[in-house]
Amino acid sequence: VIMFLQFVSAATGIAAAVVLFKAFRDKTATTLGNFWEFFVKAITRLLLPLSIVVALLLTFNGTPARYEGKDQFISLQGDTVNVSRGPAAQMIAIKHLGTNGGGYFGVNSAHPLENPNYFTNMVEMIAQTIIPIAMVICFGYFIRRRRLGWMIFGVMTIGMLMLMIPSLTSELGGNPALAKLGIAQTTGAMEGKEMRIGPAATAYWSTLTTVISTGSVNGMHDSTMPLTGMWQLLGMMINGLYGGCGVGILNYFIYLIIAVFISGLMVGRTPEFLGHKVEAREIKIAAIITLLSPFLILAGTALASYVFTNNGDAAWAVQPKNWLNNPQFHGFSEMLYEVTSSNANNGSGFEGLGDNNMFWNILTGIIIFLGRFLPIIGPLAIAGLLAKKKFIPESGGTLKVDTKTFALMTFAVILVLNALSYFPALALGPIAEYFTMLK
C-alpha cells in the first residue's frame, strides 16, 4: 500500500504540472487535457521504468530485495544484531524518484542496508533530482520556449547552490564549541553523520532533500550545525527550487506571476505572461498562495510554542513539557522545522522533538493537507484563467520572461518574499543558536 501511494503521489504532481504546461502550449485553450490520462502515463511511462532501473542498481550493490525474514550479523562490537529484510530496493527506488522520502528502515538512507556505500549514495541523490529538474526543462520544450525553461533552471540552480555551499562550509568547518576545547576536527562536524558517508556528502544530501522536498536523510539533520539547519529550513520555506515531482514548477509559477505583476507595475503596463493578460483574479490567487506557506508555518510554530509554554503539564499521553529533548533556541528550531517540513510535504525532521503524539499528529496532518493541495489548485486555477483569454502577440513593449533580466527579477522576488516572511523565526532559532555557540 505504501509503495502504491508513493507512485500515486508522484504521478499526481507530474499530471498537475502537465495540465499547467498545456495551458501555455497554444495561444488560447478552453480545455487543459485529461488529468487521469496524464496520471496513468506518468506511472507507466516514467515512474515504473525508472524505478526498475534504480532498484536493480541498488540490489546489485547491497540493498536487500527479497522477501525472507530477519537475518543476523555480528557487529564490530561483537553484538548479534537482527536485521529486517524485504523489498527494500524496490521501495527505495520510488521513494527517491517520486520525491517521497519514506524509507524502508527506521533511519532512512543512513541505514547501511538502505544506502550501503558511496555509489548507492550517488544513485539515490541522482534519483531524487532527475524528475524535478527534467520537469523544469520539459516546461520550456513543451510550450516551445526552450530559453524560458533554461532560465528557470538557472534561477533554481543558483538558489540551490546558495544554500548548498554554506552548508558544506559549515559542516566541514566543524563545531565551534569543540574547537574552543582544543579538539581537532580534521574530518569536519561528525556528530549525526555516517562514517562511510562523511559530513560533505551529508551536507550535500541535506540540501537536495530539503530543496527538492524528498525528505529522505543519510545523516541526522538535528545534529547538523545551526546554520546548516537554517539552510535546510530555507530550502523548504521557498519550496520552489526544483521542488517535488511536478509541484516544484507549480510553486515556481506563483513566483513568476508575482514577478510579472511587479514588473508590469514598474513599467506602467498591464502585466502579461506568455501572451495573456494577468489581471486581478490571477493576482489575488497568487497572493493567497504566496501567503499560505508563511501563515501555516508561522501560525503552526506559534501555536506549538504557546502550548509548550503555557500548557506544559496538560494531562495528555505525552505532556507538552516533555516534547523537547533540546531546550532553548534549538528546541524552537525543532518545532519550526517540524511545521515547515509538513507544509513543504517534505517529511524530514529534527528528531529531538517528541512528535508522535495527538497534538503534533493532528497539527501536522492539517498542515500537510493544506500545504499539499492548495498550492496545486492555485497555479492550475491561474493557468486555466489565462488559457481562456485572448492571445496578445508580442510587441516592442512586451515583457520578455525568458531573459536574464527577468530571471534576476524573479530571483529577487523569491529572496524578498521569503526573507520578509521568515527571518524573525529564523533569528529566534538557528541564528540565535549559532551565536550562542560562539560565546
CB 187 within 8 A of CB 176: no
- pLDDT at res. 327: 82
Is the Cα dihedral 82, 88, 92, 98 positive or negative?
negative
Question: Does 89 map to a domain?
Answer: no
176 within a domain of the structure (yes/no): yes
Please report the pLDDT score of residue 70 as a whole number. Answer: 85
Segment (H or E) for 419: helix 404-426
At 72, is the secondary structure helix, strand, or coil?
strand
Angle of the 198-211 helix axis to the 226-238 helix axis, nearest 10? 20
| Cβ–Cβ under 8 Å, residues 211 and 201 | no
Cell numbers 497572493 label which residue?
287
**Backbone dihedral angles phi then psi of residue 311, each to the nearest 5 degrees:** -130, 40
* Closest CA relative to residue 382, chosen from 267, 287, 244, 265: 287
Domain membership of residue 147 (yes or no) is yes
Is residue 405 classed exposed, middle or buried when 0-12, 13-18 and 19+ CB atoms within 10 A define those classes?
exposed
Distance linking the first and last C-alpha atoms of the chain: 50
Positions in the chain whose pLDDT score sits under 70: none
> What's the pLDDT score for residue 66?
86
Residue 54 inside a domain? The answer is no
Domain hosting residue 229, numbered range: 131-437
254 found inside a domain? yes
Strands 276-277 and 272-273, bridge-based pairing: antiparallel
pLDDT at residue 128, as a whole number: 96
With beta carbons less than 8 A apart as the criterion, state whether 374 and 13 touch.
Answer: no
What pairs with residue 273 in β-bridges? 276
Q: What is the pLDDT of residue 348?
A: 93
Q: Which pLDDT does position 29 carry in this prediction?
A: 84
* Residue 351 within any structural domain of the chain: yes
How many domains does the chain contain in total? 1
Per-residue confidence (pLDDT) for residue 177, from 0 to 100? 87
User: pLDDT tens digit string along 191-208?
Assistant: 999 999 999 999 999 999
How far is residue 76's CA from residue 10's CA, in Å, rounded to a whole number?
A: 39
- Residue at 90 is within a domain: no
Supply 300's cell numbers.
Answer: 503552526
